[in-house]
Amino acid sequence: MTETVGLVGLGAMGLPIGKRILESGRGLVVVPHTNRTPAEELKALGARIAAVPADLARDCSTVLTSLPDVPHVEEVLFGQYGLASQDCVGLLYIDLSTITPSATIEFERKLAAHGIQMLDAPVSGGPMRAAEGTLTIMVGGSQEAYDRARSLLEVFGKNIVHVGGSGTGQVVKLTNQLLISVIMVANAEALSLGVKAGVPLETLLEVIGTSSGSNYLLQNWLPRTLFSGDLDHGFALDLLMKDLNAVLQMAAEAGSPVFGGALAQQLYRSIRATGEEVGRLDYSVVARIFEEVNGVDLRLPEK
């Protein structure tokens, strides 16, 4: 029989993941949240629309969520019309969201009491790689659940690693988010200094791109966002800040200092305070702090 997958969360990542699932020949049932448009788009491709998460328990062997934060995941699982409100013994639940490890561990414990297996499987790569099926997926949970989920994860992921038990997927993802938060600030600070001191951005990138200061953001992310002037796409500042808050919570729970992360948080908060609309822009918008102080623009000329 054809596997049927449930999906809750049809935003920038959930929508392309849903399309990949349909293209794989699997059945798909989706639950819209505040915006019904993505659900209708998937319906036109063959998906069915359910009213509430509890409805997925009847028809789906696996349910995925791709949601903003802990309260949204908790509502889908344990709310009045959540998955756990139904008889879901044998269901596999995979959370693609980025949330705190402590919340994940608690959710896994509560779901196990309902006979539901859970994996935390946050993803990295953005909407473009989701559409291509080349996401990096870091998976936490039991080996049994991972083996069961592997073929589905391969539909939208290329680099899939079982990193350990419950919550470890979130640990790895938040470690990555701490790195990109700090590296983005370092790129903006260093490049704006170099440009102010008289070297064109193109020259800095040519040299640093083959030097020890090179990094993924410099080579792959910033040319599509900050350097092109297009901040309307990418990874929203508000989402980055949510992840960075989770990093600092994880660090506090572990008793670990995160000096760079705390400084980065304050810089992102400072630029966010300049306007509500800024939170929807790519997080490279933090460069505006350094651009304005130095009187420079980190832009490449159009080709």
Res 274 pLDDT > 70: yes
Within a domain: 85: yes
Res 300 pLDDT > 70: yes
> Do 152 and 21 reside in the same domain of the chain?
yes
> Do 9 and 152 reside in the same domain of the chain?
yes
pLDDT given for residue 34 in this prediction: 76
| CATH number of the domain to which 261 belongs | 1.10.1040.10
Positions marked active-site: 173
Residue 137, phi then psi, degrees to nearest 5: -125, 125
pLDDT given for residue 166 in this prediction: 98
Number of domains composing the chain: 2
> Do 217 and 282 reside in the same domain of the chain?
yes
> Do 180 and 68 reside in the same domain of the chain?
no
> Do 40 and 128 reside in the same domain of the chain?
yes
pLDDT digits (tens, 9 = 90+) for 159-194: 999 999 999 999 999 999 999 999 999 999 999 999
* Cα angle, residue 69 at apex, residues 64 and 70 outer, rounded to 5°: 85
Within a domain: 300: no
> Do 147 and 216 reside in the same domain of the chain?
no
What is the average pLDDT value for the chain, to the nearest integer? Answer: 96
Q: pLDDT-derived band of residue 135, with 50, 70 and 90 as boundaries?
A: very high
| Average confidence (pLDDT) over 20-28 | 97
pLDDT digits (tens, 9 = 90+) for 93-111: 999 999 999 999 999 999 9
Domain boundary among 144, 164, 184: 164
d(CA 176, CA 120): 15
Within a domain: 240: yes
pLDDT digits (tens, 9 = 90+) for 215-258: 999 999 999 999 999 999 889 999 999 999 999 999 999 999 99
> Do 228 and 262 reside in the same domain of the chain?
yes
Res 156 pLDDT > 90: yes
Within a domain: 302: no
Res 129 pLDDT > 70: yes
Res 128 pLDDT > 90: no
The share of the chain scoring above pLDDT 70, in percent, equals 100
- Determine the structural domain holding residue 245 and report its residue range: 171-294
> Do 116 and 193 reside in the same domain of the chain?
no
> Do 158 and 188 reside in the same domain of the chain?
no
| CATH number of the domain to which 109 belongs | 3.40.50.720
Structure pTM? 0.94
pLDDT given for residue 1 in this prediction: 61
Within a domain: 299: no
Domain boundary among 132, 164, 196: 164
pLDDT given for residue 232 in this prediction: 95
> Do 11 and 138 reside in the same domain of the chain?
yes
Tokens of 282: 């790519």
Within a domain: 303: no
pLDDT digits (tens, 9 = 90+) for 33-82: 778 999 999 999 999 999 999 999 888 999 999 999 999 999 999 999 99
> Do 141 and 95 reside in the same domain of the chain?
yes
Within a domain: 301: no
Domain boundary among 164, 196, 223: 164
